[in-house]
Amino acid sequence: MEKPGYLRWAASVLTGLWVTTGVAVPIGFALLTAIKAARGGMLGPELLGRPTVVLALLGSYVLAAMVGGWAAAWITLDNRRGLVAILSASHVATWLIALLSGSVPFPGWLILLLAGGAILGTVLGVDIRARQVASRSTLPPPE
């Protein structure tokens, strides 16, 4: 099978990152607005001590990364494992840069959890898209 060109790979990775961010922002806003309303208008760092809040944030980011991985797989799915590896590494690198630059007000453990959630979401999203393609094709599913 022909290897995808560099432009298609770059477009796929950028699409995955862009869509993940585009989905994560409204989900995060809605989630934090709901938490704020439930707490009488107060948000604070003590909320990160509550496992339910952390799991809700993490779950919403996994969902956003899943949509991003699915969108990236629309552009190229010739090498599914390669796409997952490159997109996951891009997510992790983005979170590590944010952590090292101090531009995100989250503690390091949460940033690392979000990076791991991005990997999980990416794998799930690309897999969902690959299954969609395989169900509509007479060709064997891509690796």
* pLDDT on residue 140: 64
| Residue 141 and residue 78 in contact, taking contact as beta carbons nearer than 8 Å | no
Measured from the Cβ of residue 68, the count of other Cβ atoms closer than 10 Å reads 28
List, for residues 55-87, the tens digit of each pLDDT value: 999 999 999 999 999 999 998 887 889 889 999
Residues 8, 130, 115, 44: is their CA dihedral positive or negative?
positive
CB 69 within 8 A of CB 122: yes
- Residue 130 has a CB neighbour count (10 Å cut-off) of 19
Q: Count H helices and E strands in the chain, helices first.
A: 4, 0
129 contact partners, CB below 8 Å, separation of at least 6? 69, 70, 73, 74, 77
Q: How does pLDDT run across 71-127, given as a tens digit for each residue?
A: 999 988 878 898 899 999 999 999 999 999 988 888 889 999 999 999 999 999 999
pTM of the model: 0.85
Residue 142's pLDDT band, with cuts at 50, 70 and 90, is low
